Amino acid sequence: MTVVHEESATGAEVPIRRIRVMVNGETKTAEVEPRLLLVHLLRRGLGLTGTHMGCDTTNCGACTVLVNGRPVKSCTMLAVQADGAEVQTVEGLSTPSELHPLQEGFKEEHGLQCGFCTPGMLMSAKALLEENPDPSEDEIRWALSGNLCRCTGYQNIVKAVQWAGRKMRGEQA
């Protein structure tokens, strides 16, 4: 069990909720303050620092994770709202021996520079490709328009998603 108290062991009257979340296929139980954000549960509580926090206002998308398969900005969801849910983060994309096609695509097409936006981009793109395995450039651009990147100008991110799409469809990447 993971205990995450943002305001811990102070004697103050802090309501605590116990939640159970499936994170990257493992069941985690945590005691959390109701105000704890999902991103903070992941980063501080579970040590999953691959999910980044970039803006606090649901604009940049660096904190995007999948909750029950849907892309969610984890800075705008309370941990208690994820009680009973399945959460996937960037750490759950690959196995020790194999990268996800999207991860490969981002490397192959130089879809990242500083890499801070990349985990969020990967998770949003994963949700896109699961819904639409062969998206057009416009569809990719719209699907990723909630994820900001300051380095790449997005062009190679689009190519990276196309690369992954081809691989996942069994075509020559």
**What is the closest distance, in whole angstroms, from the C-beta atom of residue 131 to another protein in the complex?**
17
Residue 161 falls in which region: left (phi positive, over 0), alpha (psi -120 to 50) or beta = alpha
**173 touching another protein, by CB under 8 A:** no
- Residue 90 in contact with another protein, rule: CB under 8 A: yes
> CA dist 83 to 11, 38, 71, 155, Å?
25, 10, 16, 37
For residue 131, what are its two tokens? 């819904």
Binding mask 133-172 for another protein (x = CB under 8 A): ----x--xxx-xxxxxxxxxxxxxxx--------------
Question: By CB under 8 A, is residue 125 in contact with another protein?
Answer: no
Contact 3, 30 (CB under 8 A): yes
Interface with another protein, residue 1, by CB under 8 A:
no
Query: Of residues 18, 20, 29, 56, which one binds another protein by CB under 8 A?
Result: 56
Q: CA 91, CA 122: separation in Å to the nearest integer?
A: 11
Considering the rule CB under 8 A, would residue 127 count as an interface residue with another protein? no
Site membership for another protein, residue 116 (CB under 8 A): yes
Query: Which listed range, 15-23, 80-88, 92-100, 163-171, lies at the site for another protein (CB under 8 A)?
Result: 92-100
- CA angle, residues 99, 151, 149, in degrees to nearest 5: 70
Q: How far apart are the first and last CA of the chain?
A: 42
Which residues contact another protein by CB under 8 A? 6-8, 10-12, 43, 48-60, 62, 89-91, 93-94, 99, 103, 106-108, 110, 112-119, 122, 137, 140-142, 144-158
